[in-house]
């Protein structure tokens, strides 16, 4: 725990329930660990809820292609419903990822100004209730539970960058935070060379939460080396995104990562991740505490909506304007 380039274990619950010294230790640990873009944290997510969600998602993904395609959401740009194999493509790659996905978020009222102004970010939710009865309730409960962990974890980050701990609270309230279940099929089934489960990329959002997956595969870039990332038992991986890098003027860098099958591994992999987003009208401008004579302002202001739209195009999810043909 002495290296400044090491993924550390911290305790969200100690920050919330511990002494002043314990809180400061957690803030310091998060700040040091996020020089890699990653940190492991203890949490209070229900293991039973995660197991139930994985079981229902496995049932859905084991359906035939025609059944799964009934739950696509044209025009949603991958923000809800099913996305098939070899569609999403990392911005750094010209080869589509070997994965299929189910996406969902928390709906807000149709008359809400966010939904009226940013319809693409708040689509009608499409979930496979008809194929897997009861899945909607389970996935929505899972979404809210993981978001609660992320909202609370952002309070540690806020203190670490010299802001009040509630700095992010309003920013993420009613934001288009997205939960994504991903099935990575066996690499023995891939139809052509050059594809991997997920090529090197950085997430666009503030932070991403990754509870335990069903198999290894996640690798993170630390000091230009790829390092396997597997959270200890009962912990969740948190990684940082492009929006947080902009807000912190690069003090907290992007957590670059990829997902690759280990040599000789013939199985598939399931993962459920959640991308914590600010409200689309948020202006992403570096906070004053992160701009100093030694670290002058690096980024111009941009709206969260514009930043997200650009990345959705780059990763090939705009149906009428694919960056690459499938």
Inside any domain, residue 133: yes
Half-sphere exposure of 36 (CA within 13 A, CB side): 28
Please identify which residue in the block is written with the tokens 């948190």. Answer: 238
Mean predicted confidence (pLDDT) in 128-136: 98
Could you read off the pLDDT of 260-288 as tens digits, one per residue? 999 889 999 999 999 999 999 999 999 99
**166 in Cβ contact with 155 (< 8 Å):** yes
Whose tokens are 């595969």? That residue is 217
**Quick check: helix, strand or coil at residue 179?**
strand
Supply the pLDDT for residue 292: 97
What's the pTM? 0.94
Q: How many CB atoms lie within 10 A of CB 86?
A: 17
Q: Assess contact for 154 and 163: CB atoms under 8 A.
A: no
Per residue in 58-69, pLDDT (tens digit) is 999 999 999 999
Q: What is the pLDDT of residues 145-198, one digit of tens each?
A: 999 999 999 999 999 999 999 999 999 999 999 999 999 999 999 988 889 999
102 part of a folded domain? yes
- For residue 281, give the DSSP letter: T
Q: Domain tally for the chain?
A: 1
The verdict on residue 251 lying in a domain is yes
Is residue 325 one of the residues assigned to a domain? no
Domain containing residue 102: CATH number: 2.60.120.330
pLDDT per position as a tens digit, 30-73: 999 999 999 999 999 999 999 999 999 999 999 999 999 999 99
CA proximity to 63, closest of 135, 125, 123: 135
Residue 20 located in a structural domain: no
Q: Which run of H or E residues covers position 114?
A: helix 113-117
Residue 279 lies in a domain: yes
Domain, as residue range, for 61: 37-314
In whole angstroms, give the CA distance from residue 82 to residue 60.
10
Beta carbons within 8 Å of 265's beta carbon, 6+ residues apart? 187, 215, 216
């Amino acid at each position: 725990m002495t290296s400044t380039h090491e993924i550390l274990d911290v305790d969200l619950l100690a920050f919330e329930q511990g002494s002043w010294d314990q809180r400061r230790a957690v803030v310091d640990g998060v700040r040091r660990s996020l020089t890699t873009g990653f940190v492991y944290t203890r949490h209070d997510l229900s293991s039973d809820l995660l197991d139930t969600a994985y079981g229902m998602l496995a049932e859905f993904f084991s359906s035939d292609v025609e059944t799964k395609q009934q739950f696509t959401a044209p025009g949603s740009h991958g923000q809800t419903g099913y996305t098939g194999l070899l569609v999403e493509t990392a911005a750094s790659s010209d080869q589509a990822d070997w994965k299929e996905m189910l996406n969902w978020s928390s709906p807000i009222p149709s008359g809400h100004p966010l939904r009226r102004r940013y319809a693409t970010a708040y689509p009608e939710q499409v979930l496979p209730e008809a194929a897997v009865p009861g899945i909607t309730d389970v996935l929505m409960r899972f979404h809210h539970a993981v978001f609660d962990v992320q909202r609370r974890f952002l309070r540690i980050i806020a203190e670490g960058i010299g802001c009040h701990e509630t700095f992010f609270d309003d920013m993420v309230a009613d934001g288009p935070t997205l939960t994504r279940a991903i099935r990575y099929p066996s690499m023995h089934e891939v139809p052509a060379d050059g594809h991997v489960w997920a090529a090197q990329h950085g997430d666009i959002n503030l932070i991403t939460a990754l509870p335990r997956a069903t198999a290894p595969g996640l690798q993170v870039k630390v000091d230009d080396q790829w390092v396997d990332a597997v959270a200890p038992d009962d912990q969740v991986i948190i990684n940082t995104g492009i929006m947080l890098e902009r807000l912190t003027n690069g003090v907290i860098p992007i957590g670059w990562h990829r997902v690759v099958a280990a040599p000789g591994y013939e199985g598939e992999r399931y993962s459920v991740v959640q991308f914590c987003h600010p409200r689309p009208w948020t202006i992403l401008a570096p906070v004053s505490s992160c701009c100093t004579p030694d670290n002058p302002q690096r980024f111009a202001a941009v709206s969260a909506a514009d930043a997200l739209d650009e990345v959705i195009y780059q990763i090939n999810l705009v149906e009428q304007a694919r960056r690459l043909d499938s």
